[in-house]
Amino acid sequence: MADQKKIDKVTGVETTGHVWDDDLQELNNPMPKWWLYIMYATIIWSIGYMVAYPAWPLASDYTRGVLGYSQRQVVMDQIAAGKAAQSKFRDAIAQAELNEIQKNPELLEFALAGGAAAFGGNCAPCHGRGAQGFKGYPNLNDDDWIWGGDLEAVHTTIRHGIRNADEDSRQSDMPKFGQEQLLEKAQINDVAEYALSLSGAATDQEAVGRGAEIFAEQCSACHGENGAGNTELGAPNLANGIWLYGGDKKDVVQSIHTGRGGVMPPWHTRLDDVTLKQLAVYVHSLGGGQ
Amino acid sequence: MATTLDSYITPKVENEPVEAAPGVMRHDVKPVNAKDDRPLYVDRVAIHPKLVHGTFRNLKWIVMVLTLGFYYLVPWLRWDRGPTLPDQAVLIDFADQRLFFGPMEIWAQEFYYVTGLLILASLVLFLVTALAGRVWCGYACPQTVWTDLFIMVERVFQGDRNARLRLQKAPWSSEKVWKLGITHVTWLFISVLTGGAFVFYFRDAPTLAYEFMTGTAPYIAYVFVGVFTFTTYALGGLAREQVCIYMCPWPRIQGAMYDDHSMLVSYRPHRGEPRGPHKKADTWDGRGDCVDCKQCVVVCPVGIDIRQGAQLECIQCALCIDACNEIMEKVGRPPNLIAYDTFHNLKAAETGGNVPVKVFRTRTILYMVLIPAVLGLMTYGWVNRSELQLNVLRDRNPLFVRLSDGGIRNGYTLKILNKRHETRQYKVSIKGLPATAVDPKLDFVGFKEADPVIDVVPDSLRAIRVYLSLPKPAVSQLKDESTDLTFVVTDIEDGTVTRRGTKFRSPKK
């Protein structure tokens, strides 16, 4: 059968030899030439490709190809090229004082872009992508700064962090007035009312009066006589409308009862000096910088 | 079936010349698309069009000179736009996302002007097709122009139709190698120039020409010269009419573009039939003017016989009109046996009637209305195009910031576009917030002044961060958590103003 060609009588075209339903046969028309040539071309191409490029996996390695092409190397080269292209600005930022960076439009643009990228990768998990903050994690857009909002202060805070093992980190400690039984429950209620009154949010004027005394005794050393806070000690301003741990009575009572002491890691161990400077300039530019 | 195949290999050397009429030899040629016994699979038949002289051939030469001249020379035209911008009259500047057309400059986001131009071009094409068929295909299409040019090259090195046919049939010899070789080399040379001219539209032409000569042109320029060299050579030199028949969608679309009133290149059977050879003494009574010399077939660049009527292969180049008129003059019959005519008129002529050309029909009127409408719309858009533009991006994260004094602050990024070819200075102000004793405060990041003068360099965009703070009393006056607000940018020099509306967001009431 194989050596005998079957020809379809009607068309004169060779058939494949298969017969269905008594007399139904399949014509063996050739593939279109263009199709065939393209297929041959792809076969030739694939051989060339396998010789030129990495192709076959081996036990512990792979065939490297005569061109020595490696996607990983391409990425490394691109990163190196990118770094080299940035070096002009990075070197300038490394040399410059923070406020000099702010004054130079080119450096400022570069620092803001780099700062934004570094912020997204490092700071956003706690402070939010838009630096809007969450309960316990300060909003960096506003003009209320616990540890100071000028460029140097922001830079120091980022560099060394807050209440961590770094020897230069920001340190302060709010007593746990309730837990350590420094104040009675009623006293905590009164001083909370007083604290709320500083921003006009108190509801019980008698309690405010009683709380004022306790505040002067227990709190004013850090938060100041008028509750305006102290950035040296990281004592928040209690007299404005911004509450890091919530401004409801319940929240304020809890803050006094358990004390507050948010922590932030030191970043100089993870980020280079230039990035830290860029971050400081970026955070400062978010609108609240002083 | 195999018996018919051979007869389709057209290039038979005409070895037994027959006289169709006194002094008119009959060509032994078969149209490539003859209907009878045409198998499904046939190899392409090489077509060797004969040179013809006449009105339409001259028109085609003129169109060729104009289109090629335009294509090759336009990149070299200069247009002064000042020191900071390119001085090439027509430049498609991908790197800076600009299109330069003489005095016009189009930014990437204004690409709709190009879209409008393309719509306009299509409408004109539709109108022309409705009036006179495939005029574009026959005269101005690059495929036609370059194929024509390549056939001319062929003729210069290999001679006219008969000589080329003989050469094709001839066994390989040094003469054949030389003639074919020089033809292909010339084609490639033209193709390189074609590809070369194309890239000049995308980069300053003199600079790029210098870079080509010193071998320092960008890698991508060589790639595109290569691509266009290949396509010009392959499409114009090798594929030719196959592009029009099998590859190009436009001829198929055109079938819907013309109608019975369109002027198409047509053979007039009522005048030509019955056809046949004519001897000197014979009378012309009782017979047609067609002497069946097949001149119309041998000059046809797609190798068809126009006397079979309208065919999809026909590109309406009108060369058969020239060919036939030459013969009609020789045999002393009136010209235009083949001519531009309408289906309607051809049909009427069968019974001796005559239908005048109807130019104004629903479709042509529609195109004639749409063309000025689109043109007017584009012109209006262009005349009212502002050379100062402002985009405002409001911060979404956070929507607003509560300040320690109880005020609310929103952040915005202003993008000021200066489309002028000179540095301009602008001031920014706002409108639309409720008036209170304390004004809203604008802080411009990177500026010391409260109301800074903002420089924007020529032909560029400057993005500026702006913080807008509303003091507590003003916030309490806001009726809603979202208040309409307008940023106004004023050109200090000429007072041009552009506005952009946005919102001021505040906490829920």
Structural domains in chain B, sorted by start? 61-254 (no CATH), 264-350 (no CATH), 388-505 (2.60.40.10)
Residue B438's pLDDT is 67
- ω into residue B398 within 30 of 0, thus cis? yes
A143 contacts on B by Cβ (under 8 Å):
403-404
Task: Give me Rg for the CA atoms of chain B.
Answer: 34
Q: Which of B406, B411, B465 sits opposite A241 (nearest CB)?
A: B406
Assess B411–A contact: CB distance below 8 Å, yes or no.
Answer: yes
**Between B508 and A272, whose confidence is greater?**
A272
Q: Which of B402, B443, B446 sits opposite A242 (nearest CB)?
A: B402
Q: Which of B1, B409, B445 sits opposite A12 (nearest CB)?
A: B1
Assess A143–B contact: CB distance below 8 Å, yes or no.
Answer: yes
DSSP B29-88: ---TT--TT--S--PPPP--PPP--SHHHHHHHHHHHHHHHHHHHGGG-B----TTS--B
Residue B41's pLDDT is 67
Q: In degrees, to the nearest 5, what angle opens at C-alpha A245 toward C-alphas A243 and A249?
A: 80
A129 contacts on B by Cβ (under 8 Å):
397
d(CA B498, CA B198) in angstroms, rounded, equals 39
Q: What is the bridge-based pairing of β-strands B424-431 and B482-491?
A: antiparallel
d(CA B321, CA B338) in angstroms, rounded, equals 5
Asked if the ipTM is above 0.90, the reply is no
Residue of chain A whose alpha carbon sits nearest to that of B463: A109
Assess B395–A contact: CB distance below 8 Å, yes or no.
Answer: yes
Residue B3's pLDDT is 38
Q: In degrees, to the nearest 5, what angle opens at C-alpha B235 toward C-alphas B52 and B266?
A: 40
Residue of chain B whose alpha carbon sits nearest to that of A134: B398
pLDDT digits (tens, 9 = 90+) for A214-251: 999 999 999 998 899 999 999 999 988 889 999 899 99
What are the residue ranges in chain B where pLDDT is below 50?
1-14
Residue of chain A whose alpha carbon sits nearest to that of B404: A240
Q: How close B453 gets to chain A, by Cα (Å)?
A: 15
Q: What is the mean pLDDT of residues A207-218?
A: 91
Residue A216's pLDDT is 92
Residue B397's pLDDT is 85
Residue B436's pLDDT is 64
CA-to-CA dists, residue A32 to B12, B39, B159, B244, angstroms: 27, 15, 34, 20
Residue of chain B whose alpha carbon sits nearest to that of A145: B404
**Between A287 and A153, whose confidence is greater?**
A153
Other CB atoms within 10 A of residue A184 CB? 12
A144 contacts on B by Cβ (under 8 Å):
403-404
A288 contacts on B by Cβ (under 8 Å):
401, 403
Mean of the per-residue pLDDT values of chain A:
91
Residue B171's pLDDT is 92
Residue B8's pLDDT is 43
For helices B142-158 and B174-200, angle between their N-to-C axes, nearest 10 degrees: 150
**Between B479 and A140, whose confidence is greater?**
A140
| In the predicted structure, residue A276 carries a pLDDT above the cut 50 | yes
Q: How close A142 gets to chain B, by Cα (Å)?
A: 5
Q: Which of A130, A237, A242 sits opposite B398 (nearest CB)?
A: A130
Say yes or no for a CB contact (<8 Å) between A241 and B398: no
